Amino acid sequence: MYLHLGQSVVVPHRDVVGIFDLDNTTWSRRTRGSLEKAEKRGQVVDVSGDLPKSFVLCRDRTGGTRIYLSQLSAATLRGRAESGVFF
């Protein structure tokens, strides 16, 4: 099963580590620093097409992590994940 993140991007449900709201999490210096480091390493994929509302932390095939920025709210993504609305 796959979770749709927006802009025709889907990730395997088993690879999702966490779904986070950008407004509520980026006030923390630690979170902002982690996102900046991941972006410098090429681990951030912007699938928002606009202003992102959330980010999804996923495991990638190499055992590392990948962060997807999504235009969908964290509540919408969590709802899809919890209700089994997969693609």
Cβ(54)–Cβ(77) below 8 Å: yes
Q: By residue range, what is the domain housing residue 72?
A: 2-83
User: What is the model's pTM?
Assistant: 0.89
For a pLDDT cut of 70, what percent of the chain falls above it? 95
Count of CB atoms situated within 10 Å of the CB of 70 = 25
Residue among 17, 19, 16, 11 nearest 53 (CA)? 19
Mean local confidence (pLDDT), 47-68: 93
pLDDT surpasses 90 at 82: no
Residue among 18, 33, 25, 29 nearest 66 (CA)? 18
Distance CA 66, CA 60 (A): 6
Number of domains in the chain: 1
